[in-house]
């Protein structure tokens, strides 16, 4: 039976690049030119320490082990999955070739790559069971996906959803509960945010801005002409910066047309914040970079990270929408 591997280089930011180029890849730019298939793990660790003499032993072992797995353990016809934290979707494909060195992709963090045929259908995180979500939450660049999670992902792709068997929870009981807990917590907070309705999402964003020191005006439901929230130091929009916020809380990425429509109503002195919990297309980011006014794009990842950073300063209503509590863990 084939194995499924999670490959999530650069924290998932290469998701679209993987799909467009038909590859799954990792970086390790300094190590990659010297790596050969068949090298032992010990040889790679020694090579890592030679190239990066200042690296800690644990760092060398971890990095070299990830490269070794990519070069030697992943096989042709194995399944591979990658995750987009911004869009909260999984992309599944099949490995069709051996690892190759691509110096031309070094600047993109894809120096070592394997050809992959990706499926057209993406799997939404919200469609998976909690055990599968938890098992896919590791922060490692490469790891083997649990059998039950692989079957659930493949079932979603095939249009035949399959839940994990009951014994899975018992099997997971022996896993260190602190492993990857921070990344898992962020994803669970995203789950809460994603369950909010549109008006609650609008209030959440406004609450985050207030915690950051702004005063906000929230538009009532209806035709707001691209101004769901106005944030400014004085609350009226007279003092700079005057931030115009558009909130899109729905499935599916926002593209160039939505960005252009939002920018079309902006004053030269405005600052824009466009929030899309469904993420943005690559073209939308290009459009934002070329905008005539400063424009920031927030996905659910940005919303949650900013909420965590400013949670202590949020008001009671914002805390009610997303109730969190502080927990201390050993460093």
107 and 233 in one domain? no
Q: Comparing C-alpha atoms, which of 236, 241, 229 is closest to residue 205?
A: 229
Mean pLDDT of the chain: 87
**What six digits make up the tokens of 210?**
């207030």
> Does one domain contain both 261 and 143?
no
Indicate whether 331 belongs to any domain. Answer: no
61 in any annotated domain: yes
Residue range 99-127: average pLDDT? 92
Using CA atoms, how far apart are residues 202 and 225, in angstroms rounded to an integer? 15
CA atoms within 13 A on the CB side of 210: 20
- pLDDT (0 to 100) of residue 36: 86
**25 and 115 Cβ atoms separated by less than 8 Å:** no
* Same-domain pairing of 98 and 165: yes
Identify the CATH number of the domain in which residue 154 sits. Answer: 3.10.590
12 and 158 fall within a common domain = yes
Q: Are 258 and 275 in contact (CB under 8 A)?
A: no
- In this prediction, residue 169 carries a pLDDT of 46
Residue 303's CATH number? 3.40.1350.10
Choose the final residue of a domain: 140, 175, 210. 175
Bridge-partner residues for 101, per DSSP? 112
Over range 109-118, report the average pLDDT.
94
- Does 82 share its domain with 148? yes
> What's the pLDDT at 272?
94
* pLDDT higher than 90, residue 38: no
Taking residues 59-88, report their average pLDDT.
90
Residues 20 and 155 occupy one common structural domain: yes
Q: Is residue 277 part of a domain?
A: yes
- Is residue 102 a part of any domain in this protein? yes
Q: Are residues 119 and 230 in the same domain?
A: no
Q: What length is written for the chain? A: 331
Distance CA 81, CA 282 (A): 20
Is 59 contained in some domain? yes
Identify the weakest region by mean pLDDT among 119-123, 177-181, 284-288, 296-300. 177-181
Residue 174 predicted with pLDDT over 60? no
Please give the Cα distance from 291 to 296 (Å, whole number): 10
Q: 26 near 141, Cβ under 8 Å?
A: yes
What pLDDT score was predicted for residue 224? 54
Query: Does 183 reside within a domain?
Result: no
Q: How confident is the model at residue 225 (pLDDT cuts 50, 70, 90)?
A: low
Statement: residue 171 has pLDDT above 70: no
pLDDT tens by residue, 259-308: 999 998 788 889 999 999 988 988 999 999 999 899 999 999 999 999 99
**Structural domain harbouring 297:** 196-321
Looking at the structure, do residues 11 and 121 belong to the same domain, yes or no? Answer: yes
pLDDT grade, residue 1 (50/70/90)?
A: low
The answer to the question of residue 190 being in a domain is no
Out of 120, 141, 175, pick the residue that ends a domain: 175
End of a domain among 110, 145, 175? 175
DSSP 188-241: HHHHHHHHS-HHHHHHHHHHHHHHTT-EEEEPPSS--TT-SEEEESSSSS-SSP
pLDDT at 236 over 70: yes
The pLDDT, as a whole number, for residue 140 is 78
User: Lowest-confidence range among 35-39, 92-96, 326-330?
Assistant: 326-330
Do 57 and 127 lie in one domain? The reply is: yes
Neighbouring residues of 15: CB distance < 8 A, sequence distance ≥ 6: 82, 83, 84, 86, 87, 89, 91
Same domain (yes/no): 39, 160: yes
Average confidence (pLDDT) over 57-61: 86
Domain membership flag for residue 329? no
Measured distance CA(134)–CA(180) in Å, rounded: 9
Q: Which of 318, 322, 91 is nearest to 194 (CA)?
A: 322
The count of structural domains within the chain is: 2
Going by pLDDT thresholds of 50, 70 and 90, the confidence category of residue 223 is low
Q: Indicate if the pLDDT at residue 97 is higher than 60.
A: yes
For residue 141, whether the previous peptide bond is cis, meaning omega lies within 30 degrees of 0, is: no
Residue 176 has pLDDT above 80, yes or no: no
Q: Are residues 128 and 69 in the same domain?
A: yes
Burial 95-126 (b: 16+ CB within 10 A, else e): beeebeebeebbebbbbbbbbbebeeebbebe
Q: What pTM, to 2 d.p., does this model score?
A: 0.70
> HSE (CB half, 13 Å, CA atoms) of 190?
27
User: Could you tell me if 18 and 133 lie in one domain?
Assistant: yes
């Amino acid at each position: 039976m084939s194995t499924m591997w999670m490959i999530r280089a650069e924290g998932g930011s290469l998701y679209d690049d993987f799909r467009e180029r038909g590859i799954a890849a990792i970086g390790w730019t300094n190590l990659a030119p010297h790596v050969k298939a068949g090298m032992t793990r010990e040889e790679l660790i020694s090579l890592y320490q030679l190239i990066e003499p200042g690296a800690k032993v644990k760092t060398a072992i971890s990095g070299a082990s990830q490269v070794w797995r990519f070069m030697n353990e992943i096989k042709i016809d194995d399944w591979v999955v990658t995750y987009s934290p911004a869009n909260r979707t999984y992309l599944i494909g099949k490995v069709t070739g051996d690892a190759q060195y691509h110096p031309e992709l070094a600047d993109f963090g894809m120096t070592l790559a394997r050809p992959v045929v990706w499926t057209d259908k993406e799997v939404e995180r919200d469609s998976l069971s909690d055990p599968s979500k938890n098992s896919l939450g590791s922060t490692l660049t490469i790891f083997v996906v649990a059998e039950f999670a692989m079957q659930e992902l493949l079932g979603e792709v095939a249009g035949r959803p399959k839940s994990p068997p009951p014994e899975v929870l018992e099997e997971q009981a022996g896993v260190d509960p602190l492993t990857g807990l921070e990344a898992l917590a962020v994803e669970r907070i995203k789950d809460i945010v994603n369950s909010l309705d549109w008006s609650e999402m609008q209030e959440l964003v406004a609450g985050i801005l207030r915690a950051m020191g702004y005063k906000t005006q929230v538009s009532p439901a209806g035709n707001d002409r691209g101004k769901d929230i106005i944030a400014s130091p004085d609350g009226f929009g007279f003092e700079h910066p005057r931030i115009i916020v558009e909130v899109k809380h729905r499935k599916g990425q926002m593209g160039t047309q939505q960005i252009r429509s939002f920018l079309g109503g902006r004053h030269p002195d405005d600052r824009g914040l466009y929030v899309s919990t469904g993420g943005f297309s690559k073209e939308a980011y290009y459009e934002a970079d070329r905008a005539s006014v400063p424009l920031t794009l927030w996905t659910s990842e940005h919303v949650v990270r900013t909420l965590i950073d400013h949670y202590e300063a949020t008001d009671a209503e914002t805390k009610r929408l997303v109730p969190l509590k502080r927990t201390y863990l050993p460093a």
